[in-house]
């Protein structure tokens, strides 16, 4: 079983900018193997298994495709079909209900 280490960065400037762009009060976003948080504490984020699974799915997507290819394909999908219909977001939403997505994952 592959081991995946995920990191959490609270009060992330990148997440803050994304939160402002998305018009929300709190956000989690992934760059590589780091989950960037804004408007939510690490503890509150980790208490929500659906949200954690969603973001861990994105970490797995980065691992599969690589940093630059994933970002390129993700942004292209958003431009082409929008955020909600983006295939990477659809996969992450499906992962929210799949506890197996956490197998081998360590969050530090």
What's residue 49's pLDDT? 98
The answer, yes or no, to whether residue 101 has pLDDT greater than 70, is yes
DSSP secondary-structure letter at 39? S
CA angle 73/52/35 to nearest 5° reads 55
pLDDT band at 2; cut points 50, 70, 90: confident
pLDDT at 24: 85
Report the domain count for the chain: 1
Give 8-34 pLDDT, tens digit per residue.
999 999 999 999 988 889 999 999 999
Supply the range of the domain harboring residue 42: 4-107
Task: Name the strands in the sheet holding 105-107, side by side, starting at the edge strand that comes first in the sequence.
Answer: 27-31, 34-38, 4-9, 105-107
Q: pLDDT tens digit string along 56-99?
A: 999 999 999 999 999 999 999 999 999 999 999 999 999 999 99
Q: By the 8 A CB rule, do 61 and 91 touch? A: yes
- pTM for this structure? 0.95
pLDDT beyond 80 at 1: no
| pLDDT in the model for residue 56 | 98
């Amino acid at each position: 079983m592959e081991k995946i280490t995920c990191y959490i960065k609270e009060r992330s400037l990148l997440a803050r900018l994304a939160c402002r762009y998305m018009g929300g009060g709190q956000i989690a976003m992934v760059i590589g193997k780091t989950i960037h948080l804004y408007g939510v504490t690490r503890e509150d984020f980790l208490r929500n298994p659906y949200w954690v699974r969603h973001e861990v799915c994105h970490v797995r997507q980065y691992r599969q495709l690589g940093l630059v290819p994933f970002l390129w394909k993700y942004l292209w999908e958003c431009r082409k079909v929008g955020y909600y219909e983006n295939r990477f977001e659809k996969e992450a939403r499906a992962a929210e209900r799949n506890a197996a997505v956490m197998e081998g994952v360590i969050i530090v």
